[in-house]
Chain A
Amino acid sequence: MKTAFLNLFGQTPLTRRRALWGMALVAPNVLGLLFFFGLPVLAAFATSLQQWNAIKPPVFVGLDNFVRLFQDGAFWQALGNTLKLLLLSVPAEIFLALNVAVMLNQRLRGRIFFRTIYFLPVVTSTVAAAIVWAWIFQPRYGLIGNIFAPLGLRDIGWLTRPDLVLLPVAAVMIWQRLGFDMVLFLAGLQTIPRVLYEAAIIDGANPRQRFRFITLPLLSPTTFLVLVLAIINGFQVFDQVYIMTARTTRGGVGGSATTLAYFLYQSAFIRSEFGYSSAVALVLFLLTLGVTVLQLRIQRRWVYYEAGE
């Protein structure tokens, strides 16, 4: 009996000793992750089925939180704002990052310098970035208004107008994300074999054709990865909203800038509704999971496509 158990760890004393070492080495991090991340994941599901306020003990209420959530106009508004932000920021940031990366992937003096400049906002704290951009978007004395003063935009209250407030938020997202995407695109471009371009040049393909028929298709796995990461990141927008609307109504006038993450924060830590906000958290989780699963599915097809060539 004892030997059977021991054999689980290996056939010889040496492999057994190494198995014990292995477990001892991974234990601190694995147990820490289990306790501080795994446990909360399970708890998130349980909490979403409870009514839990600051004072009263939690009560099991089944799916009530979700029923309430789907009837809550504020939740749909937050979901809508999150999707609008994705639409405003993701295509623009990917388009810009791809173009910058392609330009920087050429024989060009100062490539590293430009790469540094474009990457600077990535290492900047989002809170500081949002404060600076809030100042840039101030009416009358802000930078944007004054640059575009000839268009009559100087006195526009970007952050106070419910129909405009998502634009400044998206601006910060694009500014901070462009360099990150660019670096991924640059790495992707490095993997495209040079010989393909050389062959295309011999065949008389012009630069635009080379981009269209070599760069773009061979870069598509990178493009897709960048897209997925941008979407997942976009689901979690919080800092920008919290900071940029701090001087008016937090979350934007009439909830016009409230994102899912901000809505979650509000219902959990301002209104102390832990059960209800856990339902929001679960929606956030499922959205992210959906995108990730989709990515894995499609990626598999891509790998096959490449192998088939």
Chain B
Amino acid sequence: MSEQADQPAPYTDLSLPIKVLTYFVLILGAVVMVLPFVWMASTACKVPAELNTLPVRWIPQTPVCRENLNLLYETSPNFNRYLLNSALLTIGRLVGQLVTCSLAAYGFARFKFPGRNVIFALSLGLLMVPFQAILIPEYLLLRQLDWLNSFRALIIPGAFSAFAMFLLRQAFLQIPLELEESAMIDGANPLQVLRYITLPLSGPALAAFAVITIQAAWNDFLFPLVVANTPDTRVVTIGISLLQGERSTPWNLLMMGSFLATMPMLILFVILQRYFIEGVTMSGIKG
């Protein structure tokens, strides 16, 4: 974890009482932020009887993590399939957006053509439309195409993005024009320039784009719920919501399911947190 990523504003060294108070508040807050995760993990390893024990126990007396994991798969035999579906949806959208949005970003950043600014502004205007406002026509459109309950519905509409296009365009504009021009003089076509010059020089922006897209796709719920809610196409967020809903699954298994659904993103975040933070900052600026 890089400490130099951004500089604090060290106007003064803090006096000791202020420092102690600051740490106290920060630690208290951090505990509140982390407790739900700890409680989730702890509950996931409890035997059913321990769920209804007072006072509540933070550490299970006899941890049964493995047993509960097996029980979860007994209750929801398709759970691995749901995890796999989530991964497929995530990868599909990521690859799709990487292709469509980097092409478009490059086109808008470096080429003049009639109507360029209008088309760009209109695409950005779509960012103002909340997704839920078009959920119904989107559903009707996919129904018309006969794509419901298929991976086409889950992936293809999500393979285009105005936001990712905007983000990548901003990054491409930062790259010195001379590098691209010298490649062109050497006879490279725009696709080759994009592939061998522009994209490799946009590493951090690509990483920020990737983590934002991955996180949103993995955690998507309402859209898959509406367009693809069959055993074969269900994603993991729907999988755990089903545990919660129809059959009254005990809390320890629900926590185990939530744990499995959460872990991939938490691990990804801890490894790539710099890019998550950058992505959020950029998405905020787009506003």
Contact = CB atoms under 8 A, between A and B. Distances in A.
A246 B245 contact: yes
A37 B126 contact: yes
Given A96-B29, A268-B135, A285-B133, A9 B114 contact: yes
Nearest to A288: B130
Contacts, number: 320
Interface string B219-234: 1011000100000000
Contacts of A269: 139, 226
Interface string A1-24: 000000011100001001111111
B8 A192 contact: no
Contact of B30 (A114, A124, A274): A114
B187 interface: no
B287 A225 contact: yes
A71 interface: no
B157 to A, nearest CB: 4
B131 A236 contact: yes
The dominant DSSP class at the A interface is helix
Given A26-B119, A133-B36, A194-B11, A116 B273 contact: yes
A282 B97 CA distance: 28
B251 interface: yes
A210 B11 contact: yes
Interface string A264-278: 110011000010011
Given A22-B112, A47-B140, A116-B273, A41 B126 contact: yes
B136 interface: yes
Interface in B82-104: 99-101, 103-104
Interface in A160-191: 175, 178-180, 183-184, 186-187, 189-190
Given A25-B111, A292-B128, A127 B11 contact: no
B141 A43 contact: yes
Contact of A295 (B100, B162, B254, B287): B287
A124 B26 contact: no
A121 interface: yes
Contacts of A146: 54-56
B255 to A, nearest CB: 7
Given A9-B113, A36-B141, A37-B134, A198 B11 contact: yes
B209 interface: no
B136 A143 contact: no
A26 B108 contact: yes
B280 interface: yes
B284 A114 contact: no
A64 interface: no
A235 B19 CA distance: 38
B108 A112 contact: no
Contacts of A106: 8-10, 14, 22
A120 B114 contact: no
Interface in A243-260: 243, 246-247
Nearest to A278: B136
B160 interface: yes
| Interface footprint category on A | 35 or more
Interface residues of B, number: 108
Contacts of A115: 277
Contact of A15 (B51, B112, B156): B112
A135 interface: yes
A229 B36 CA distance: 25
A265 B135 CA distance: 9
A131 B244 contact: yes
A40 B132 CA distance: 11
Interface string B243-281: 011001001001101110110011011100100110011
Interface in A92-143: 96, 99-100, 103-108, 111-129, 131-136, 138, 140-141, 143
A28 interface: yes
B129 interface: yes
Contacts of B281: 183-184, 187
Given A106-B10, A242-B221, A242-B241, 14 more contacts: A8-B114, A22-B116, A26-B119, A37-B160, A38-B122, A123-B269, A127-B241, A128-B237, A129-B36, A146-B56, A183-B281, A264-B136, A278-B137, A295-B287
Interface of A: 8-10, 15, 18-26, 28-30, 32-33, 36-41, 43-44, 47, 96, 99-100, 103-108, 111-129, 131-136, 138, 140-141, 143, 146, 175, 178-180, 183-184, 186-187, 189-190, 192, 194, 197-198, 201, 207, 210, 225-226, 228-229, 232, 235-236, 238-239, 242-243, 246-247, 261, 264-265, 268-269, 274, 277-278, 281-282, 284-285, 288-289, 292, 295
25 contacts: A8-B114, A18-B112, A29-B165, A33-B123, A36-B157, A38-B122, A41-B133, A41-B134, A44-B134, A47-B136, A106-B10, A127-B219, A128-B40, A128-B258, A128-B261, A140-B54, A141-B56, A143-B35, A146-B54, A146-B55, A178-B33, A180-B280, A247-B248, A284-B133, A285-B129
Which 9 pairs from chain A and chain B are nearest by CB?
A22-B111, A25-B107, A32-B160, A29-B104, A43-B137, A40-B137, A107-B10, A26-B107, A125-B219
